[in-house]
Structure 1
Amino acid sequence: MARSPLAAFFLLLSLTLLNPAYAIKFALQPARFPGAKCIWNPVHNNALVIVTANVGPGANQRVDIEIIDSSAEKNVYLNKRNINAESRFAVTAHAEGEVGVCFKNYLDKSVTPEKGAKMSRIVDLDVDIGAEAVDYNAIANQESLSGLETEMRKLEGMLKELVDEQGYLKKREERFTATNESTQQRVQNFAWFSILALAGLGAWQIVHLRSFFKRKYLID
Protein backbone atom coordinates (compact mmCIF):
# COMPACT_ATOMS: atom_id res chain seq x y z
CA MET A 1 0.00 0.00 0.00
CA ALA A 2 2.93 2.30 0.71
CA ARG A 3 4.26 1.81 -2.80
CA SER A 4 1.01 2.82 -4.57
CA PRO A 5 1.52 6.62 -4.36
CA LEU A 6 5.15 6.22 -5.51
CA ALA A 7 4.14 4.04 -8.45
CA ALA A 8 1.39 6.48 -9.34
CA PHE A 9 3.92 9.32 -9.23
CA PHE A 10 6.34 7.63 -11.63
CA LEU A 11 3.51 6.63 -13.96
CA LEU A 12 2.22 10.20 -13.93
CA LEU A 13 5.74 11.47 -14.64
CA SER A 14 6.20 9.16 -17.60
CA LEU A 15 2.79 10.07 -19.04
CA THR A 16 3.49 13.76 -18.56
CA LEU A 17 6.63 13.42 -20.66
CA LEU A 18 4.47 12.00 -23.44
CA ASN A 19 2.18 15.08 -23.35
CA PRO A 20 4.39 18.14 -24.01
CA ALA A 21 3.05 21.62 -23.34
CA TYR A 22 2.61 23.77 -26.41
CA ALA A 23 3.77 27.23 -25.33
CA ILE A 24 5.34 29.90 -27.49
CA LYS A 25 6.13 33.61 -27.26
CA PHE A 26 6.61 35.80 -30.33
CA ALA A 27 6.37 39.36 -31.66
CA LEU A 28 3.50 40.07 -34.04
CA GLN A 29 4.18 42.78 -36.62
CA PRO A 30 1.26 45.04 -37.69
CA ALA A 31 0.14 45.79 -41.25
CA ARG A 32 -2.80 47.33 -43.03
CA PHE A 33 -3.60 43.96 -44.61
CA PRO A 34 -1.72 41.51 -42.39
CA GLY A 35 -1.16 37.87 -43.12
CA ALA A 36 -2.11 35.31 -40.51
CA LYS A 37 0.52 33.84 -38.20
CA CYS A 38 -0.71 30.36 -37.26
CA ILE A 39 0.55 27.97 -34.62
CA TRP A 40 -0.49 24.37 -35.37
CA ASN A 41 -0.84 21.52 -32.88
CA PRO A 42 -1.85 17.89 -33.55
CA VAL A 43 -5.17 16.81 -32.01
CA HIS A 44 -7.55 13.87 -32.05
CA ASN A 45 -11.26 13.97 -32.73
CA ASN A 46 -13.35 15.23 -29.76
CA ALA A 47 -10.21 16.42 -27.92
CA LEU A 48 -10.59 19.44 -25.65
CA VAL A 49 -8.33 22.35 -26.60
CA ILE A 50 -7.70 25.25 -24.21
CA VAL A 51 -6.02 28.29 -25.78
CA THR A 52 -4.57 30.96 -23.50
CA ALA A 53 -3.32 34.03 -25.35
CA ASN A 54 -1.68 36.91 -23.51
CA VAL A 55 -1.35 39.86 -25.89
CA GLY A 56 0.96 42.68 -24.79
CA PRO A 57 0.11 46.36 -25.10
CA GLY A 58 0.48 48.22 -28.38
CA ALA A 59 -1.05 51.51 -29.48
CA ASN A 60 -2.81 51.79 -32.84
CA GLN A 61 -2.81 48.02 -33.30
CA ARG A 62 -5.67 45.52 -33.27
CA VAL A 63 -5.03 41.81 -32.80
CA ASP A 64 -7.63 39.31 -34.01
CA ILE A 65 -7.58 35.59 -33.25
CA GLU A 66 -9.03 32.68 -35.20
CA ILE A 67 -8.98 28.98 -34.32
CA ILE A 68 -9.29 26.58 -37.26
CA ASP A 69 -8.37 23.01 -38.15
CA SER A 70 -6.60 21.30 -41.05
CA SER A 71 -9.47 18.99 -42.02
CA ALA A 72 -11.06 18.99 -45.47
CA GLU A 73 -14.01 20.91 -44.01
CA LYS A 74 -11.69 23.69 -42.71
CA ASN A 75 -13.72 24.06 -39.51
CA VAL A 76 -13.59 27.48 -37.84
CA TYR A 77 -14.02 27.11 -34.07
CA LEU A 78 -13.51 30.71 -33.03
CA ASN A 79 -13.12 34.14 -34.62
CA LYS A 80 -12.65 37.04 -32.21
CA ARG A 81 -11.58 40.61 -32.89
CA ASN A 82 -9.43 42.93 -30.79
CA ILE A 83 -8.14 40.70 -28.02
CA ASN A 84 -6.09 42.32 -25.26
CA ALA A 85 -4.19 41.17 -22.19
CA GLU A 86 -4.96 37.55 -21.25
CA SER A 87 -7.75 35.75 -23.07
CA ARG A 88 -8.76 32.12 -22.60
CA PHE A 89 -10.74 30.06 -25.12
CA ALA A 90 -11.99 26.46 -25.05
CA VAL A 91 -12.92 24.48 -28.17
CA THR A 92 -13.50 20.82 -29.00
CA ALA A 93 -11.85 19.34 -32.09
CA HIS A 94 -14.25 17.93 -34.68
CA ALA A 95 -11.72 15.94 -36.71
CA GLU A 96 -8.36 14.20 -36.61
CA GLY A 97 -5.47 16.37 -37.71
CA GLU A 98 -4.20 19.71 -36.49
CA VAL A 99 -5.77 22.75 -34.85
CA GLY A 100 -4.29 26.11 -35.76
CA VAL A 101 -4.37 29.25 -33.61
CA CYS A 102 -4.02 32.19 -36.03
CA PHE A 103 -3.31 35.84 -35.23
CA LYS A 104 -3.56 39.00 -37.34
CA ASN A 105 -2.25 42.37 -36.20
CA TYR A 106 -4.00 45.25 -37.99
CA LEU A 107 -2.28 48.65 -38.17
CA ASP A 108 -4.46 51.71 -37.65
CA LYS A 109 -4.95 53.89 -40.73
CA SER A 110 -3.58 56.91 -38.90
CA VAL A 111 -0.12 55.30 -38.71
CA THR A 112 2.18 55.25 -41.71
CA PRO A 113 3.55 51.88 -42.87
CA GLU A 114 7.10 53.15 -42.23
CA LYS A 115 6.27 53.82 -38.57
CA GLY A 116 4.26 50.60 -38.33
CA ALA A 117 7.30 48.59 -39.42
CA LYS A 118 8.93 49.50 -36.10
CA MET A 119 5.91 48.45 -34.04
CA SER A 120 4.81 45.05 -32.73
CA ARG A 121 2.81 43.34 -30.01
CA ILE A 122 4.15 40.47 -27.94
CA VAL A 123 1.94 37.36 -27.88
CA ASP A 124 2.42 34.71 -25.22
CA LEU A 125 0.50 31.63 -26.36
CA ASP A 126 -0.20 28.49 -24.37
CA VAL A 127 -2.18 25.59 -25.87
CA ASP A 128 -3.34 22.67 -23.69
CA ILE A 129 -4.82 19.62 -25.39
CA GLY A 130 -6.70 16.61 -24.07
CA ALA A 131 -5.95 15.64 -20.48
CA GLU A 132 -3.64 18.63 -20.09
CA ALA A 133 -6.60 20.94 -20.76
CA VAL A 134 -8.79 19.51 -17.98
CA ASP A 135 -8.90 21.52 -14.73
CA TYR A 136 -8.53 18.68 -12.24
CA ASN A 137 -8.36 21.07 -9.30
CA ALA A 138 -11.88 22.26 -10.10
CA ILE A 139 -13.02 18.64 -10.42
CA ALA A 140 -11.40 17.79 -7.09
CA ASN A 141 -13.16 20.69 -5.35
CA GLN A 142 -16.49 19.84 -6.96
CA GLU A 143 -16.34 16.11 -6.15
CA SER A 144 -14.38 16.44 -2.88
CA LEU A 145 -11.52 14.25 -4.13
CA SER A 146 -8.34 13.62 -2.18
CA GLY A 147 -4.92 14.40 -3.61
CA LEU A 148 -4.32 10.77 -4.59
CA GLU A 149 -7.79 10.45 -6.12
CA THR A 150 -7.14 13.60 -8.16
CA GLU A 151 -3.83 12.19 -9.42
CA MET A 152 -5.52 8.91 -10.30
CA ARG A 153 -8.24 10.80 -12.18
CA LYS A 154 -5.50 12.61 -14.09
CA LEU A 155 -3.78 9.29 -14.83
CA GLU A 156 -7.06 7.90 -16.09
CA GLY A 157 -7.42 10.79 -18.52
CA MET A 158 -3.85 10.42 -19.77
CA LEU A 159 -4.22 6.66 -20.17
CA LYS A 160 -7.38 7.23 -22.21
CA GLU A 161 -5.39 9.58 -24.44
CA LEU A 162 -2.74 6.89 -24.89
CA VAL A 163 -5.40 4.32 -25.81
CA ASP A 164 -6.94 6.76 -28.29
CA GLU A 165 -3.49 7.45 -29.74
CA GLN A 166 -2.81 3.74 -30.16
CA GLY A 167 -6.21 3.26 -31.82
CA TYR A 168 -5.50 6.16 -34.18
CA LEU A 169 -2.07 4.77 -35.08
CA LYS A 170 -3.58 1.32 -35.64
CA LYS A 171 -6.17 2.76 -38.04
CA ARG A 172 -3.42 4.63 -39.91
CA GLU A 173 -1.34 1.47 -40.12
CA GLU A 174 -4.33 -0.47 -41.50
CA ARG A 175 -4.99 2.29 -44.04
CA PHE A 176 -1.33 2.38 -45.13
CA THR A 177 -1.24 -1.41 -45.38
CA ALA A 178 -4.36 -1.41 -47.55
CA THR A 179 -2.82 1.32 -49.74
CA ASN A 180 0.44 -0.65 -50.09
CA GLU A 181 -1.41 -3.83 -51.00
CA SER A 182 -3.56 -1.99 -53.55
CA THR A 183 -0.49 -0.33 -55.07
CA GLN A 184 1.36 -3.65 -55.22
CA GLN A 185 -1.62 -5.28 -56.97
CA ARG A 186 -1.79 -2.45 -59.51
CA VAL A 187 1.94 -2.71 -60.22
CA GLN A 188 1.60 -6.46 -60.65
CA ASN A 189 -1.36 -6.03 -63.03
CA PHE A 190 0.56 -3.43 -65.02
CA ALA A 191 3.56 -5.79 -65.27
CA TRP A 192 1.38 -8.60 -66.62
CA PHE A 193 -0.28 -6.21 -69.04
CA SER A 194 3.14 -5.04 -70.27
CA ILE A 195 4.30 -8.64 -70.78
CA LEU A 196 1.14 -9.58 -72.70
CA ALA A 197 1.30 -6.38 -74.76
CA LEU A 198 4.94 -7.03 -75.68
CA ALA A 199 4.18 -10.67 -76.53
CA GLY A 200 1.22 -9.61 -78.69
CA LEU A 201 3.30 -6.93 -80.42
CA GLY A 202 6.07 -9.43 -81.09
CA ALA A 203 3.61 -11.97 -82.57
CA TRP A 204 2.07 -9.26 -84.77
CA GLN A 205 5.49 -8.21 -86.03
CA ILE A 206 6.36 -11.81 -86.95
CA VAL A 207 3.08 -12.26 -88.85
CA HIS A 208 3.48 -8.92 -90.59
CA LEU A 209 7.08 -9.58 -91.64
CA ARG A 210 6.21 -13.11 -92.84
CA SER A 211 3.39 -11.69 -94.97
CA PHE A 212 5.70 -8.97 -96.34
CA PHE A 213 8.40 -11.46 -97.29
CA LYS A 214 5.84 -13.70 -99.00
CA ARG A 215 4.59 -10.78 -101.10
CA LYS A 216 8.17 -10.09 -102.15
CA TYR A 217 8.69 -13.82 -102.91
CA LEU A 218 11.60 -13.89 -100.51
CA ILE A 219 10.17 -16.92 -98.72
CA ASP A 220 7.74 -19.67 -99.60
Structure 2
Amino acid sequence: MARLSPVFFSFVLTTTLLLLADPASAVKFQIQAYRYPQSKCIWNPIHNNALIIVTANVGPGEGQQVDVEIVDSSPQKNVYLSKKNINGETRLAVTSHAEGEVGVCFKNTLDSSYPSEKASKAARIIDLDVDIGADAVDYNAIANQESLSGLETEMRKLEGIVKEIVDEMAYLKKRELRFTDTNMSTNNRVQNFAWFTILSLAGLGAWQIMHLRSFFKRKYLID
Protein backbone atom coordinates (compact mmCIF):
# COMPACT_ATOMS: atom_id res chain seq x y z
CA MET A 1 0.00 0.00 0.00
CA ALA A 2 1.42 3.38 -1.03
CA ARG A 3 2.21 5.88 1.71
CA LEU A 4 1.67 9.62 1.43
CA SER A 5 4.90 11.57 1.58
CA PRO A 6 5.28 14.38 4.15
CA VAL A 7 5.72 16.88 1.32
CA PHE A 8 2.42 15.86 -0.27
CA PHE A 9 0.67 15.96 3.11
CA SER A 10 2.03 19.46 3.79
CA PHE A 11 0.88 20.61 0.36
CA VAL A 12 -2.64 19.29 0.95
CA LEU A 13 -2.79 20.87 4.42
CA THR A 14 -1.55 24.23 3.16
CA THR A 15 -4.01 24.22 0.26
CA THR A 16 -6.92 23.35 2.55
CA LEU A 17 -6.07 26.10 5.02
CA LEU A 18 -5.68 28.66 2.27
CA LEU A 19 -9.08 27.73 0.87
CA LEU A 20 -10.69 28.05 4.29
CA ALA A 21 -9.06 31.37 5.07
CA ASP A 22 -10.59 34.70 4.10
CA PRO A 23 -9.27 35.68 0.66
CA ALA A 24 -7.90 39.09 -0.15
CA SER A 25 -10.17 41.39 -2.11
CA ALA A 26 -8.95 43.16 -5.25
CA VAL A 27 -11.05 45.24 -7.61
CA LYS A 28 -10.48 47.82 -10.31
CA PHE A 29 -13.20 50.31 -11.15
CA GLN A 30 -13.92 53.76 -12.54
CA ILE A 31 -15.46 56.45 -10.38
CA GLN A 32 -17.28 59.34 -12.01
CA ALA A 33 -16.58 62.88 -10.82
CA TYR A 34 -19.41 65.17 -9.67
CA ARG A 35 -19.55 68.54 -8.00
CA TYR A 36 -21.56 66.97 -5.16
CA PRO A 37 -20.58 63.30 -5.34
CA GLN A 38 -22.04 60.33 -3.51
CA SER A 39 -19.76 57.79 -1.84
CA LYS A 40 -18.97 54.56 -3.65
CA CYS A 41 -18.12 51.82 -1.15
CA ILE A 42 -16.52 48.39 -1.46
CA TRP A 43 -17.54 46.12 1.44
CA ASN A 44 -15.75 43.13 2.95
CA PRO A 45 -16.69 40.92 5.94
CA ILE A 46 -14.52 41.35 9.03
CA HIS A 47 -14.15 40.14 12.60
CA ASN A 48 -13.35 42.15 15.68
CA ASN A 49 -9.69 43.23 16.10
CA ALA A 50 -8.81 42.26 12.53
CA LEU A 51 -5.92 44.00 10.78
CA ILE A 52 -7.02 45.65 7.53
CA ILE A 53 -4.57 46.87 4.90
CA VAL A 54 -6.05 48.99 2.11
CA THR A 55 -3.95 49.75 -0.96
CA ALA A 56 -5.55 52.18 -3.41
CA ASN A 57 -3.89 53.16 -6.67
CA VAL A 58 -5.70 56.21 -8.06
CA GLY A 59 -5.19 57.05 -11.72
CA PRO A 60 -4.64 60.58 -13.03
CA GLY A 61 -7.52 63.00 -13.47
CA GLU A 62 -7.39 66.74 -14.00
CA GLY A 63 -9.67 68.90 -11.88
CA GLN A 64 -10.76 65.99 -9.70
CA GLN A 65 -10.23 65.25 -6.01
CA VAL A 66 -10.58 61.71 -4.70
CA ASP A 67 -11.27 61.28 -0.98
CA VAL A 68 -11.25 57.94 0.84
CA GLU A 69 -12.94 56.88 4.05
CA ILE A 70 -12.89 53.53 5.87
CA VAL A 71 -16.05 52.73 7.84
CA ASP A 72 -17.84 49.69 9.20
CA SER A 73 -21.43 48.44 9.24
CA SER A 74 -21.79 48.32 13.03
CA PRO A 75 -24.61 50.26 14.75
CA GLN A 76 -21.99 52.78 15.88
CA LYS A 77 -20.95 53.41 12.23
CA ASN A 78 -17.28 53.62 13.18
CA VAL A 79 -15.10 55.77 10.92
CA TYR A 80 -11.58 54.35 11.11
CA LEU A 81 -9.82 56.69 8.75
CA SER A 82 -10.53 59.56 6.40
CA LYS A 83 -8.07 60.98 3.89
CA LYS A 84 -8.61 63.66 1.28
CA ASN A 85 -7.12 64.20 -2.16
CA ILE A 86 -5.27 60.92 -2.59
CA ASN A 87 -3.18 60.41 -5.71
CA GLY A 88 -1.13 57.52 -7.02
CA GLU A 89 -0.63 54.61 -4.64
CA THR A 90 -1.91 55.07 -1.10
CA ARG A 91 -1.53 52.45 1.62
CA LEU A 92 -3.74 52.59 4.71
CA ALA A 93 -3.82 50.34 7.78
CA VAL A 94 -6.56 50.10 10.42
CA THR A 95 -7.80 47.61 13.01
CA SER A 96 -11.49 46.74 13.20
CA HIS A 97 -13.49 47.43 16.36
CA ALA A 98 -16.60 45.36 15.65
CA GLU A 99 -17.97 42.33 13.84
CA GLY A 100 -19.67 42.91 10.51
CA GLU A 101 -18.39 44.50 7.34
CA VAL A 102 -15.78 47.13 6.56
CA GLY A 103 -16.34 49.55 3.72
CA VAL A 104 -13.72 51.46 1.75
CA CYS A 105 -15.60 54.48 0.42
CA PHE A 106 -14.47 56.87 -2.31
CA LYS A 107 -15.72 60.27 -3.44
CA ASN A 108 -14.57 61.96 -6.63
CA THR A 109 -15.27 65.68 -6.43
CA LEU A 110 -15.17 67.77 -9.58
CA ASP A 111 -13.50 71.16 -9.30
CA SER A 112 -15.82 74.14 -9.78
CA SER A 113 -13.53 75.53 -12.49
CA TYR A 114 -13.76 72.37 -14.59
CA PRO A 115 -15.51 73.00 -17.96
CA SER A 116 -19.15 71.92 -17.84
CA GLU A 117 -19.08 70.46 -21.36
CA LYS A 118 -16.36 68.00 -20.29
CA ALA A 119 -17.85 67.11 -16.90
CA SER A 120 -19.61 63.98 -18.18
CA LYS A 121 -16.25 62.46 -19.15
CA ALA A 122 -14.46 63.31 -15.91
CA ALA A 123 -13.58 60.08 -14.10
CA ARG A 124 -10.65 58.34 -12.47
CA ILE A 125 -9.57 54.71 -12.38
CA ILE A 126 -9.03 53.16 -8.94
CA ASP A 127 -7.19 49.89 -8.40
CA LEU A 128 -8.12 48.70 -4.90
CA ASP A 129 -6.65 45.87 -2.81
CA VAL A 130 -8.05 45.03 0.62
CA ASP A 131 -6.14 42.53 2.76
CA ILE A 132 -7.72 41.35 6.00
CA GLY A 133 -6.33 39.29 8.85
CA ALA A 134 -3.46 36.97 7.98
CA ASP A 135 -3.40 38.28 4.41
CA ALA A 136 -2.59 41.75 5.74
CA VAL A 137 0.54 40.65 7.61
CA ASP A 138 3.86 41.30 5.86
CA TYR A 139 5.59 38.00 6.56
CA ASN A 140 8.62 38.94 4.49
CA ALA A 141 9.30 41.86 6.82
CA ILE A 142 8.83 39.57 9.83
CA ALA A 143 11.20 37.01 8.31
CA ASN A 144 13.86 39.67 7.74
CA GLN A 145 13.41 41.11 11.21
CA GLU A 146 13.50 37.77 13.03
CA SER A 147 15.89 36.02 10.62
CA LEU A 148 13.42 33.26 9.82
CA SER A 149 14.07 30.58 7.24
CA GLY A 150 11.69 29.92 4.37
CA LEU A 151 10.08 27.00 6.18
CA GLU A 152 9.70 28.99 9.39
CA THR A 153 8.07 31.82 7.44
CA GLU A 154 5.59 29.41 5.86
CA MET A 155 4.83 27.93 9.27
CA ARG A 156 4.23 31.44 10.61
CA LYS A 157 1.79 32.04 7.75
CA LEU A 158 0.00 28.77 8.51
CA GLU A 159 -0.16 29.75 12.17
CA GLY A 160 -1.90 33.00 11.24
CA ILE A 161 -4.33 31.19 8.94
CA VAL A 162 -5.13 28.58 11.59
CA LYS A 163 -5.76 31.34 14.13
CA GLU A 164 -8.19 32.98 11.72
CA ILE A 165 -10.02 29.69 11.24
CA VAL A 166 -10.23 29.15 15.01
CA ASP A 167 -11.53 32.70 15.47
CA GLU A 168 -14.07 32.10 12.70
CA MET A 169 -15.30 28.92 14.39
CA ALA A 170 -15.53 30.71 17.74
CA TYR A 171 -17.51 33.51 16.09
CA LEU A 172 -19.89 31.03 14.45
CA LYS A 173 -20.34 29.24 17.78
CA LYS A 174 -21.10 32.55 19.46
CA ARG A 175 -23.67 33.39 16.79
CA GLU A 176 -25.22 29.94 17.14
CA LEU A 177 -25.60 30.42 20.89
CA ARG A 178 -27.12 33.85 20.35
CA PHE A 179 -29.60 32.48 17.81
CA THR A 180 -30.44 29.60 20.16
CA ASP A 181 -31.15 32.05 22.98
CA THR A 182 -33.30 34.11 20.63
CA ASN A 183 -35.26 31.03 19.55
CA MET A 184 -35.78 29.92 23.15
CA SER A 185 -36.93 33.39 24.15
CA THR A 186 -39.32 33.55 21.20
CA ASN A 187 -40.71 30.09 21.98
CA ASN A 188 -41.29 31.08 25.61
CA ARG A 189 -43.10 34.24 24.57
CA VAL A 190 -45.28 32.34 22.10
CA GLN A 191 -46.06 29.73 24.75
CA ASN A 192 -46.94 32.38 27.33
CA PHE A 193 -49.13 34.17 24.80
CA ALA A 194 -50.88 30.89 23.98
CA TRP A 195 -51.63 30.23 27.67
CA PHE A 196 -52.83 33.81 28.08
CA THR A 197 -55.15 33.37 25.09
CA ILE A 198 -56.54 30.08 26.43
CA LEU A 199 -57.14 31.51 29.90
CA SER A 200 -58.70 34.65 28.44
CA LEU A 201 -61.07 32.60 26.27
CA ALA A 202 -61.96 30.36 29.22
CA GLY A 203 -62.64 33.37 31.43
CA LEU A 204 -64.70 35.05 28.72
CA GLY A 205 -66.70 31.86 28.19
CA ALA A 206 -67.39 31.53 31.92
CA TRP A 207 -68.47 35.17 32.10
CA GLN A 208 -70.83 34.72 29.13
CA ILE A 209 -72.40 31.63 30.72
CA MET A 210 -72.96 33.48 34.01
CA HIS A 211 -74.34 36.51 32.20
CA LEU A 212 -76.77 34.43 30.12
CA ARG A 213 -77.85 32.46 33.20
CA SER A 214 -78.56 35.69 35.06
CA PHE A 215 -80.46 37.08 32.05
CA PHE A 216 -82.63 33.99 31.70
CA LYS A 217 -83.41 34.05 35.43
CA ARG A 218 -84.56 37.64 35.20
CA LYS A 219 -86.85 36.68 32.33
CA TYR A 220 -88.13 33.69 34.33
CA LEU A 221 -87.02 31.36 31.57
CA ILE A 222 -85.13 29.13 33.99
CA ASP A 223 -85.28 28.49 37.71
Sequence identity (%): 72
Which of 18-27 and 124-133 deviates more? 18-27
Unaligned 5+ segments in structure 1 are none
- 1:217 is matched with which residue? 220
User: Structure 1's 142 and 6: CA in aligned 2 closer, same or farther, altered over 3 A?
Assistant: farther
State the partner residue of 2:191.
188
| CA apart distance, 1:73 | 1.8
Counterpart for residue 11 of structure 2 = 9
Q: Provide the C-alpha distance between the structure 1 equivalents of 2:164 and 2:215, rounded to a whole number of angstroms.
A: 75
Dislocated runs of 4+, deviation >4 Å: none
Q: Which residue matches 1:29?
A: 32
Superposed, 1:112-131 pairs within 5 Å as: 112-131=115-134
SS of the residue 1:117 aligns to? helix
How much does 1:6 deviate?
3.6
Structure 2: unaligned runs, 5 residues or longer: none
Task: Measure, in 2, the Cα distance between the counterparts of 1:206 and 1:120.
Answer: 79
Which whole-Å CA distance do the structure 2 matches of 1:145 and 1:219 have between them? 102
Superposed CA deviations along residues 157-204 of structure 1, whole A, max 9, x for unmatched, are 000000000000000000000000000010000001000000000000
Match status 1:75 vs 2:78: yes
Question: What is the alpha-carbon distance in structure 2 between the residues aligned to residue 142 and residue 161 of structure 1?
Answer: 23
Q: How many residues align?
A: 219
Cα pair 1:50 1:89 within 8 Å, conserved: yes
The answer to whether the Cα contact below 8 Å between 1:31 and 1:107 also exists between their aligned partners in 2 is yes
Structure 1 position 113, deviation (Å): 4.9
d(CA) in 2 for partners of 1:136, 1:110:
46
| Aligned twin of 1:154 | 157
**Paired residue secondary structure (1:110):** coil
SS in 1 for 2:42: strand
Question: Offset of 1:216 from its aligned partner?
Answer: 1.2
User: Residue 29 of structure 1 aligns to which amino acid in structure 2?
Assistant: Q
Q: 1:114, CA displacement in angstroms?
A: 4.9
Q: What residue number does 1:57 align with?
A: 60
Give 1:134-145 correspondences, 5 Å limit.
Answer: 134-145=137-148
Which residue of 164, 169, 176 maps to 2:167? Answer: 164
TM-score (norm 1): 0.95
CA RMSD of aligned residues (A): 1.4
The alpha carbon displacement at 1:11 in A equals 1.8
Q: Once the two structures are superposed, what CA deviation does each residue of 1:65-124 show, in whole Å capped at 9, x if it has no partner?
A: 000111122111110000011111111111111111000000110125553222211111
Structure 2 length-normalised TM? 0.94
Structure 1 residues 208 and 135: CA distance shift in structure 2, 3 A: same
Code of the residue aligned with 2:181 in structure 1: it is A
SS of 1:218's partner is: coil
Distance 2:89 2:15 in 1: 29
